[in-house]
Chains A and B, each alone.
Chain A
Amino acid sequence: MDRTSTPNSYIASERSLPGQESDHTSAKELMENGSRSKLLEDPFVKKVWDLIMGESLFKKSSAELASLRESLRRESLQFFTRHSPYYVDLFERLDIDPAKATMHDIAKLAIPSDMLRGEGQKRFLIQDVEEGGETFSSSGTTGKDPVRVYRSPVDLAIMLKANTDLFEHVYGDVLKEGEGVALFMAAPELRYKLSFVAFVDLTLDKKGIELLYGMDLEDKSQAGTPWQKLTTNKENLLKFLKSKKEPKLFFTAPAGVHILGQKFETMGVGKKIAYKLASGAPPIKLGKGGIIVTGGGSKGFADLPEYPQLVSNAQKHFVSKDADGKQIDTPFMDVLGMTETLTALIDRYGVTDKVPHPLAEAFLLDPLTFEPIEEEGKEGILGIFNPFTTSWLEVFYPGDIMTYHSSKGFYGKEFVYKRRLSVKEGWDLQRACGGTLEEMMTKQ
């Protein structure tokens, strides 16, 4: 395949919208498609695949993982020079020797996510990128083309396994096959558009956990343009509330949990009793291992309280139990993902700040010099390098300001979200998945 034919093929491979069952790719199919990838003949891709699919990386020490990431960093850059003359030229111009690449070199290669709008990813795709994958988009609500990122079959399989592993690690338990039920305050149509939705959908599918979508797109006839108003799917919401399955997993943008809590607070006594009789809530009992998972933290688009306050408010209306059946404050996890990253950063509120996948490089750049920050606690621009992404060199900065601190966990450090850069600061991309869902939920 020559380079010029690549963009057409990747656009053509964007899936048609769900509802057409024949087009629905299950997690199983997705894993099988990835395992059949020709790219696995490349030693680097094979190595990455084996690492992701093999024994738990979370058992390794942070030093071992850091060393592994260093070798992957160099092998990844060498892989791209083998698969695209574009990268040979780019590294030469940037004076980067792939075999000796440092984090400073990675920092030099990081691009603003803004550059991935429209056909922006095209130039970065390897020559032999495989068809049959999926293209995810950002909202595009700023009046510009949305960010669009193509994921090849092997990338999708890696995405699914890596994110599931990270999720379970931060969750503190494995999701048992076929156990429990999940409610996602999103519409099923978004599965093929928003990476957060895709990640949740596929992870639960892989585990055989029932997923209920708690929202509907208001106008399905415009399903190709998902940036519409979301309305509550009362039937699914009720089904979730009444379900006796455990654990109950509640996935939502922060606005979802906030709106639900507000609804309970403003309910009259009579209505509250009637609702309780019909659904058993409030409070919403999430059972053993029950958890609320938010997407992307609050970006403040819906006039939401700060995240700690939001958690505190919500814990009045949601209750969970620990493994011994003792009632506890409902745990919260937050997933910071974005269209352009294959794997997310996930935290567990009050327990673990945000951590990336063991093989992903999360780093902070000094806002003035764009050099990597070594100092703990200093605010920097988050950069992400995913060496296990094989379709393009996935190193970018999504426009989030964070800090880091040392940790005894697998990564050796954890990240704390501070804020998203503003438009004034030159950052047009204002909505990650969570923010987009928030906007859609609160649209008047």
Chain B
Amino acid sequence: MCPALAPLLFDRALDTVPSVGNPEVLELSPSALRELLSSAGAVQAELSSIPIDERLQVIEHIARKWKQKLDNGDLEELKRDMSASTGYSPALMETELSFVPAVLGAANIRRNLDASVQGGADALYKFVEVDETEMFRHVPVGPVLIISSGNSIVPTLIPTVVSLVTGNLTILKPSIANYRGVCEVFKLLAEVPDSRAARAVRSALVVSYFGHDSPSLKLALEELPLGMVNFWGAEPARTIVANMVGKNRHHPRFFVNGPFTGMAIIEEGVEPLQAADDLALDVVLYDQQLCSSPTTGVFIGSYDRAKEFLRAAGERLDEAGNEFPLPPDQDRLFVLQGARRYIQTDGGMVLSSKNPENPWTLVLSKGRSSLAGLAAQFPAFNLFARKRFLEIVVVPDAESAVQLLRSLPDHPAFKGIDGVQSVGLAVTEGSRDPMVNMLIGAGVHRILPLGDMFMRGAVEPYDGVTMSSLFTRIVYWRKANVALEGQL
């Protein structure tokens, strides 16, 4: 059984200490981290020498076990706990848990690796000829420390699994909110039938919480020989962690995922009900807490048509949101009501739900955002606190839409984001390609159909880079020099 608040160590025995300020939570001690990292060379050498498909089968086995538990109803308690700790509706947690088998499916991971690893996934355990006489072998860059995002399971599983299957000794630090769920997934590693691959994967993974002021975490970031730190989150933690990593004489790679957000672009002329349906789904799933969730939108066209669209979207939000009811939160609703009233007295048109379990809000603004003064008036009602809340700004053309997108990081109500990661398009056939061309240079990472923003494709890069490239480096081997004649 995985203790909810103690590290998941599998076959290892490592020293733990109470977390600073939270004595009920155990974390790895500084000496345990030193001991763990001293084994990194052997652990990674062993795991990297195992054919990739065998590694993937270990992960696939977790997926199958998880599916069984889900089908048997064994995860009901976890669903309730996760709902309480993350604030998501129980129905959304159910959806989230059902995504896990797909994320851990061997075929999906294989497709990702084949698309992202130069030379294909096989290059993760042997040299593969990429050009005549030129060979690539991708080796782990680890040990890897992943400081993962706090609001659901899937975004934590993805980097961890990629780091593991690419051969890294992986230390995963989940948040307190998703700790139990993440632990429940990975503890299934212990149930994988014994094999060299299973043992190697188990020996390469440790899951431990670390408090913000943890001496262990400080030691790991500033001193220990890490090869990679992957941070998922926003300020101020990002800069604090970056500064600590900067002190590390081993110069681990440092890659930050997020903070980003999503934008919906709707054009007059598309089927409004379909677009409204799609928008509602993207807003409700994960309550806009993902970097891919639309937290703002533009409507290219007339104000009157936009009003019609807004009403349709409101109706769809009523339906979609009621499927994922949130526990009514008086404090949150009080601030929300104030914000709605502020916006409508500042020129915005506000449509909103009367159902406290589905408190959606749509704001329609002409030409400019009506949320400019919101941050000063309701500082607590920031992007991360807003749920099922979307402003749609009506603009005359695509250029204006892209201009709004570019300016979003400077918008006071969107303070804390680096930019727009995902754009969900509901535009006419004729406008689609020109729009995509404009978006290429606008700093976005993903362009998707509206209604599909939350879904990650198997081969998708993350925030502009392939995930496998974060966790590996390429050993280049030229067998002979004849092939290079005339190239330089």
Report if A and B associate in a common complex: yes
> A115 and B342: CB pair below 8 A?
yes
**CA of A93 to CA of B350 in the docked complex: distance in angstroms?**
8
B466 to chain A, nearest CB (A): 43
A381 to chain B, nearest CB (A): 8
B68 within 8 A of A: no
Say whether chain A's binding surface is mostly helix, strand, loop, or mixed.
Answer: loop
Within 8 A of B (CB), among A52-100: 89-90, 93-94
> B331 and A426: CB pair below 8 A?
yes
A353 within 8 A of B: no
Most chain-B Cβ atoms within 10 A of its Cβ — which of A381, A425, A426, A427? Answer: A426
> B356 and A421: CB pair below 8 A?
no
Q: Mark B346-357, 1 if CB is under 8 A from A, else 0.
A: 111110001010
B475 within 8 A of A: no
Within 8 A of A (CB), among B353-399: 354, 356, 377-378, 380
- How many chain A residues touch B (CB < 8 A): the figure is 22
- How many chain B residues touch A (CB < 8 A): the figure is 22
Chain B residues, Cβ within 8 Å of A4: none
A371 within 8 A of B: yes
**CA of A444 to CA of B333 in the docked complex: distance in angstroms?**
37
Chain B residues, Cβ within 8 Å of A112: 337-338, 341-342
> A427 and B354: CB pair below 8 A?
no
A370 within 8 A of B: yes
Chain B residues, Cβ within 8 Å of A367: 330, 333-334
**CA of A57 to CA of B338 in the docked complex: distance in angstroms?**
34
**CA of A369 to CA of B334 in the docked complex: distance in angstroms?**
9
> A427 and B341: CB pair below 8 A?
no
> A424 and B331: CB pair below 8 A?
yes
Residue ID in chain B nearest A365 by CB atoms: B337
Partner of A369, one of B341, B350, B354, B377: B354
**CA of A401 to CA of B425 in the docked complex: distance in angstroms?**
45
Partner of B341, one of A111, A123, A381, A421: A111
**CA of A124 to CA of B347 in the docked complex: distance in angstroms?**
12
A91 to chain B, nearest CB (A): 11
**CA of A191 to CA of B8 in the docked complex: distance in angstroms?**
66
Residue ID in chain B nearest A110 by CB atoms: B341
A368 within 8 A of B: yes
Chain A residues, Cβ within 8 Å of B346: 123
A334 within 8 A of B: no
> A93 and B349: CB pair below 8 A?
yes
Chain A residues, Cβ within 8 Å of B348: 93
**CA of A115 to CA of B339 in the docked complex: distance in angstroms?**
10
> A368 and B330: CB pair below 8 A?
yes
> B338 and A114: CB pair below 8 A?
yes
B464 within 8 A of A: no
Binding site for A on B (CB under 8 A): 328, 330-331, 333-335, 337-338, 341-342, 344-350, 354, 356, 377-378, 380
Binding site for B on A (CB under 8 A): 89-90, 93-94, 110-112, 114-115, 123-124, 367-371, 381, 421, 424-427
